[in-house]
Amino acid sequence: MTQTSQQPRTTVTRSVVARSPERPFALVRHSLALGRRSLIKTLRTPEQLLDVTLQPIIFTLVYVYLLGGAVAGSTHDYLQFLLPAILVQTVLFGGMATGVNLNTDIGKGVFDRFRSLPIGRSAPLIGSVLGDLIRYVVATVSLMTTGFVLGFRIQTDPLSALLACLLVITFAFCLSWIFVLVGMLVREPGGVQGIAFLVLFPLTFGTSMIAPKETLPSWLQAWVNVNPVSHVMEASRALMTGGAAGAHVAWSLGFSALLLAVFAPLAVRAYRRRS
Protein backbone atom coordinates (compact mmCIF):
# COMPACT_ATOMS: atom_id res chain seq x y z
CA MET A 1 0.00 0.00 0.00
CA THR A 2 1.87 2.97 -1.26
CA GLN A 3 -0.54 5.53 0.11
CA THR A 4 0.22 4.71 3.73
CA SER A 5 3.94 5.21 3.28
CA GLN A 6 3.52 8.97 2.91
CA GLN A 7 4.58 10.66 6.09
CA PRO A 8 2.75 13.76 7.22
CA ARG A 9 4.91 16.84 7.32
CA THR A 10 5.53 18.06 10.80
CA THR A 11 4.22 21.57 10.38
CA VAL A 12 0.63 22.36 9.75
CA THR A 13 0.23 25.45 7.66
CA ARG A 14 -1.99 28.07 9.16
CA SER A 15 -1.26 31.00 6.89
CA VAL A 16 -2.50 30.95 3.29
CA VAL A 17 -6.05 32.16 3.77
CA ALA A 18 -7.11 34.58 6.44
CA ARG A 19 -9.80 33.45 8.86
CA SER A 20 -13.06 33.26 7.01
CA PRO A 21 -14.89 36.59 6.82
CA GLU A 22 -18.62 36.85 7.47
CA ARG A 23 -20.51 36.69 4.19
CA PRO A 24 -24.21 37.25 3.52
CA PHE A 25 -26.84 34.63 2.59
CA ALA A 26 -25.05 32.10 4.77
CA LEU A 27 -27.97 29.67 5.01
CA VAL A 28 -28.47 29.61 1.24
CA ARG A 29 -24.77 29.05 0.56
CA HIS A 30 -24.38 26.40 3.24
CA SER A 31 -27.52 24.57 2.11
CA LEU A 32 -26.37 24.60 -1.51
CA ALA A 33 -22.90 23.32 -0.53
CA LEU A 34 -24.54 20.50 1.45
CA GLY A 35 -27.00 19.85 -1.38
CA ARG A 36 -24.02 19.43 -3.68
CA ARG A 37 -22.59 16.90 -1.22
CA SER A 38 -25.83 14.97 -1.28
CA LEU A 39 -25.94 15.05 -5.08
CA ILE A 40 -22.33 13.86 -5.42
CA LYS A 41 -23.07 10.98 -3.07
CA THR A 42 -26.11 9.91 -5.09
CA LEU A 43 -24.34 10.16 -8.43
CA ARG A 44 -21.40 8.18 -7.07
CA THR A 45 -23.67 5.32 -5.99
CA PRO A 46 -26.19 5.33 -8.87
CA GLU A 47 -27.87 2.16 -7.57
CA GLN A 48 -29.59 4.53 -5.14
CA LEU A 49 -31.55 5.74 -8.15
CA LEU A 50 -32.68 2.25 -9.10
CA ASP A 51 -36.00 2.53 -7.26
CA VAL A 52 -37.01 5.80 -8.90
CA THR A 53 -35.96 4.43 -12.29
CA LEU A 54 -37.66 1.03 -12.21
CA GLN A 55 -40.69 1.60 -9.99
CA PRO A 56 -42.45 3.93 -12.45
CA ILE A 57 -41.98 1.43 -15.26
CA ILE A 58 -43.32 -1.51 -13.24
CA PHE A 59 -46.31 0.34 -11.76
CA THR A 60 -47.32 1.77 -15.10
CA LEU A 61 -47.15 -1.61 -16.84
CA VAL A 62 -49.12 -3.28 -14.05
CA TYR A 63 -51.91 -0.71 -13.95
CA VAL A 64 -52.22 -0.22 -17.70
CA TYR A 65 -52.35 -3.88 -18.65
CA LEU A 66 -54.23 -5.23 -15.62
CA LEU A 67 -56.82 -2.47 -15.19
CA GLY A 68 -56.83 -0.61 -18.49
CA GLY A 69 -59.43 -2.78 -20.19
CA ALA A 70 -61.72 -2.91 -17.16
CA VAL A 71 -61.59 0.75 -16.19
CA ALA A 72 -61.37 2.56 -19.49
CA GLY A 73 -62.25 -0.03 -22.09
CA SER A 74 -58.81 0.18 -23.71
CA THR A 75 -55.27 0.35 -22.53
CA HIS A 76 -54.59 3.45 -24.62
CA ASP A 77 -57.46 5.47 -23.15
CA TYR A 78 -56.50 4.30 -19.70
CA LEU A 79 -52.90 5.38 -20.21
CA GLN A 80 -54.08 8.91 -21.07
CA PHE A 81 -56.10 8.88 -17.83
CA LEU A 82 -53.51 7.22 -15.59
CA LEU A 83 -50.15 8.64 -16.56
CA PRO A 84 -50.47 12.28 -15.45
CA ALA A 85 -51.77 11.06 -12.08
CA ILE A 86 -49.35 8.21 -11.51
CA LEU A 87 -46.60 10.78 -12.13
CA VAL A 88 -47.59 12.28 -8.79
CA GLN A 89 -47.47 8.97 -6.96
CA THR A 90 -44.12 8.10 -8.50
CA VAL A 91 -42.47 11.37 -7.54
CA LEU A 92 -43.95 11.38 -4.03
CA PHE A 93 -42.66 7.86 -3.39
CA GLY A 94 -39.25 9.09 -4.54
CA GLY A 95 -39.15 11.47 -1.58
CA MET A 96 -39.44 8.72 1.02
CA ALA A 97 -35.75 7.93 0.65
CA THR A 98 -34.82 11.42 1.92
CA GLY A 99 -36.15 10.57 5.36
CA VAL A 100 -34.63 7.08 5.37
CA ASN A 101 -31.21 8.34 4.22
CA LEU A 102 -31.16 11.21 6.69
CA ASN A 103 -32.05 8.82 9.49
CA THR A 104 -29.00 6.72 8.60
CA ASP A 105 -26.83 9.75 7.90
CA ILE A 106 -27.30 11.64 11.16
CA GLY A 107 -25.99 8.69 13.15
CA LYS A 108 -22.66 9.04 11.39
CA GLY A 109 -19.73 11.13 12.56
CA VAL A 110 -19.98 13.53 9.66
CA PHE A 111 -23.22 14.95 11.08
CA ASP A 112 -21.44 15.60 14.37
CA ARG A 113 -18.99 17.63 12.38
CA PHE A 114 -21.79 19.59 10.70
CA ARG A 115 -23.25 20.30 14.13
CA SER A 116 -19.90 21.58 15.39
CA LEU A 117 -19.64 24.06 12.49
CA PRO A 118 -21.00 27.62 12.61
CA ILE A 119 -23.84 26.91 10.15
CA GLY A 120 -27.61 27.16 10.45
CA ARG A 121 -29.10 24.12 12.16
CA SER A 122 -31.43 23.64 9.20
CA ALA A 123 -28.67 23.68 6.55
CA PRO A 124 -27.85 19.93 6.62
CA LEU A 125 -31.55 19.08 6.29
CA ILE A 126 -32.21 21.58 3.50
CA GLY A 127 -29.07 20.30 1.76
CA SER A 128 -30.33 16.71 1.80
CA VAL A 129 -33.77 17.68 0.55
CA LEU A 130 -32.25 19.79 -2.24
CA GLY A 131 -29.82 17.03 -3.24
CA ASP A 132 -32.69 14.56 -3.50
CA LEU A 133 -34.38 16.69 -6.17
CA ILE A 134 -32.33 14.55 -8.54
CA ARG A 135 -34.50 11.59 -7.52
CA TYR A 136 -37.66 13.43 -8.55
CA VAL A 137 -36.14 14.38 -11.88
CA VAL A 138 -35.06 10.78 -12.57
CA ALA A 139 -38.49 9.46 -11.54
CA THR A 140 -40.22 11.98 -13.81
CA VAL A 141 -38.01 11.20 -16.80
CA SER A 142 -38.39 7.46 -16.29
CA LEU A 143 -42.17 7.65 -16.02
CA MET A 144 -42.69 10.00 -18.94
CA THR A 145 -40.40 7.88 -21.13
CA THR A 146 -42.33 4.73 -20.21
CA GLY A 147 -45.56 6.56 -20.96
CA PHE A 148 -44.40 7.73 -24.37
CA VAL A 149 -43.13 4.27 -25.28
CA LEU A 150 -46.53 2.76 -24.36
CA GLY A 151 -48.32 5.38 -26.45
CA PHE A 152 -49.10 8.29 -24.13
CA ARG A 153 -49.54 11.57 -25.98
CA ILE A 154 -49.62 15.09 -24.56
CA GLN A 155 -52.87 16.69 -25.68
CA THR A 156 -52.02 20.23 -24.63
CA ASP A 157 -48.53 21.53 -25.36
CA PRO A 158 -45.00 20.67 -24.23
CA LEU A 159 -44.74 23.77 -22.02
CA SER A 160 -47.89 22.86 -20.07
CA ALA A 161 -46.61 19.32 -19.66
CA LEU A 162 -43.32 20.68 -18.35
CA LEU A 163 -45.23 22.91 -15.93
CA ALA A 164 -47.12 19.84 -14.74
CA CYS A 165 -43.84 18.09 -13.99
CA LEU A 166 -42.49 21.14 -12.14
CA LEU A 167 -45.68 21.45 -10.12
CA VAL A 168 -45.49 17.79 -9.09
CA ILE A 169 -41.81 18.14 -8.12
CA THR A 170 -42.54 21.28 -6.12
CA PHE A 171 -45.31 19.52 -4.22
CA ALA A 172 -43.06 16.48 -3.60
CA PHE A 173 -40.26 18.73 -2.34
CA CYS A 174 -42.62 20.32 0.21
CA LEU A 175 -44.23 17.01 1.21
CA SER A 176 -40.83 15.37 1.73
CA TRP A 177 -40.40 17.48 4.88
CA ILE A 178 -42.88 15.07 6.48
CA PHE A 179 -40.43 12.24 5.75
CA VAL A 180 -37.57 14.36 7.08
CA LEU A 181 -39.53 14.89 10.29
CA VAL A 182 -40.25 11.17 10.57
CA GLY A 183 -36.57 10.50 9.89
CA MET A 184 -35.67 12.74 12.83
CA LEU A 185 -38.21 11.22 15.23
CA VAL A 186 -37.82 7.50 14.53
CA ARG A 187 -34.81 5.50 15.68
CA GLU A 188 -34.47 2.99 12.84
CA PRO A 189 -34.38 3.55 9.06
CA GLY A 190 -36.83 0.64 8.65
CA GLY A 191 -39.29 2.43 10.92
CA VAL A 192 -39.02 5.56 8.82
CA GLN A 193 -39.93 3.61 5.71
CA GLY A 194 -42.90 1.97 7.43
CA ILE A 195 -44.35 5.24 8.66
CA ALA A 196 -43.68 6.95 5.33
CA PHE A 197 -45.73 4.23 3.60
CA LEU A 198 -48.58 4.75 6.04
CA VAL A 199 -48.55 8.46 5.16
CA LEU A 200 -48.27 7.94 1.41
CA PHE A 201 -50.85 5.20 0.90
CA PRO A 202 -53.98 7.19 1.80
CA LEU A 203 -52.54 10.26 0.09
CA THR A 204 -51.77 8.64 -3.25
CA PHE A 205 -54.38 5.84 -3.44
CA GLY A 206 -57.18 7.88 -1.87
CA THR A 207 -57.51 9.73 -5.16
CA SER A 208 -58.90 9.28 -8.64
CA MET A 209 -55.50 8.04 -9.79
CA ILE A 210 -56.57 4.50 -10.73
CA ALA A 211 -60.29 4.89 -11.30
CA PRO A 212 -62.65 7.84 -11.91
CA LYS A 213 -63.92 9.41 -8.70
CA GLU A 214 -67.57 8.75 -9.60
CA THR A 215 -66.98 5.00 -9.38
CA LEU A 216 -65.74 5.16 -5.81
CA PRO A 217 -67.91 4.66 -2.69
CA SER A 218 -69.18 7.92 -1.23
CA TRP A 219 -67.03 7.82 1.94
CA LEU A 220 -63.95 7.47 -0.24
CA GLN A 221 -65.15 10.27 -2.51
CA ALA A 222 -65.35 12.47 0.56
CA TRP A 223 -61.69 11.79 1.30
CA VAL A 224 -60.72 12.25 -2.35
CA ASN A 225 -62.37 15.67 -2.28
CA VAL A 226 -60.27 16.91 0.64
CA ASN A 227 -57.06 15.06 -0.20
CA PRO A 228 -54.38 17.59 -1.30
CA VAL A 229 -52.84 15.02 -3.64
CA SER A 230 -56.12 14.87 -5.63
CA HIS A 231 -55.59 18.48 -6.62
CA VAL A 232 -52.01 17.83 -7.74
CA MET A 233 -53.19 14.87 -9.84
CA GLU A 234 -56.07 16.81 -11.38
CA ALA A 235 -53.74 19.75 -12.10
CA SER A 236 -51.29 17.37 -13.78
CA ARG A 237 -54.11 15.81 -15.86
CA ALA A 238 -55.43 19.18 -16.93
CA LEU A 239 -51.96 20.44 -17.89
CA MET A 240 -51.14 17.33 -19.92
CA THR A 241 -54.43 16.13 -21.40
CA GLY A 242 -56.58 19.28 -21.28
CA GLY A 243 -59.18 20.80 -19.00
CA ALA A 244 -59.36 23.65 -16.54
CA ALA A 245 -56.12 23.60 -14.52
CA GLY A 246 -56.25 26.96 -12.71
CA ALA A 247 -58.02 26.04 -9.47
CA HIS A 248 -56.19 22.74 -9.07
CA VAL A 249 -52.83 24.43 -9.65
CA ALA A 250 -53.67 27.08 -7.07
CA TRP A 251 -54.77 24.45 -4.50
CA SER A 252 -51.60 22.44 -5.19
CA LEU A 253 -49.34 25.43 -4.63
CA GLY A 254 -51.29 26.42 -1.54
CA PHE A 255 -50.97 22.96 -0.01
CA SER A 256 -47.26 22.92 -0.96
CA ALA A 257 -46.67 26.15 0.94
CA LEU A 258 -48.67 24.85 3.90
CA LEU A 259 -46.75 21.57 4.07
CA LEU A 260 -43.44 23.42 3.90
CA ALA A 261 -44.47 25.97 6.51
CA VAL A 262 -45.63 23.31 8.97
CA PHE A 263 -43.24 20.42 8.52
CA ALA A 264 -39.91 22.09 7.71
CA PRO A 265 -39.76 23.94 11.07
CA LEU A 266 -40.95 20.82 12.92
CA ALA A 267 -38.25 18.74 11.22
CA VAL A 268 -35.54 21.27 12.09
CA ARG A 269 -36.76 21.35 15.70
CA ALA A 270 -36.67 17.56 15.90
CA TYR A 271 -33.17 17.59 14.43
CA ARG A 272 -31.96 20.08 17.06
CA ARG A 273 -33.38 17.93 19.84
CA ARG A 274 -31.90 14.74 18.55
CA SER A 275 -28.27 14.42 19.57
Choice between 29 and 153, CB closer to other proteins: 29
Nearer to other proteins by C-beta: 114 or 136? 114
3-state helix, strand, coil in the chain (%, to 5): 75, 0, 25
* Half-sphere exposure for 271 (CA within 13 Å, toward CB): 29
Closest approach of Cβ 218 to other proteins, in Å?
A: 50
* CB 136 to other proteins: min, Å: 20
Amino acid, single-letter form, for residue 257: A
Q: Say how far residue 34 (Cα) sits from the centre of its chain.
A: 17
Q: Quick one: 131 or 147, whose CB is closer to other proteins?
A: 131
Residue number with CB closer to other proteins (75 or 101): 101
How many CB atoms within 10 Å of residue 174? 24
* Least Å from the CB of residue 54 to other proteins: 22
Cα within 13 Å of Cα(217), Cβ side: 2
- Alpha carbons within 13 A on the beta-carbon side of 175: 27
Cα distances (angstroms) measured from residue 22 to each of 16, 114, 170:
18, 18, 32
Give least dist CB 140 to other proteins, A. Answer: 24
By beta-carbon proximity to other proteins, the closer residue of 112 and 188 is: 112
Q: Choose between 3 and 218: whose C-beta lies nearer to other proteins.
A: 3
* Distance in Å, CB of 138 to other proteins, minimum: 18
Q: Which is nearer to other proteins, 153 or 187 (CB)?
A: 187
- How far is Cα 184 from Cα 204, in angstroms, rounded to an integer? 23
Distance CA 229, CA 208 (A): 10
User: Which residues of the shown chain bind other proteins in the complex (CB under 8 A)?
Assistant: 1, 3-4, 6-14, 16-17, 19-23, 26, 29-30, 33-34, 36-37, 40-41, 44-45, 108-110, 112-119, 123, 275
CB 21 to other proteins: min, Å: 7
Closest approach of other proteins to the CB of residue 94, in Å:
20
Element containing residue 153 per DSSP (H, E): none
Return d(Cα 261, Cα 35) in angstroms, integer. Answer: 20
Burial of 109 (0-12, 13-18, 19+ CB in 10 A): exposed
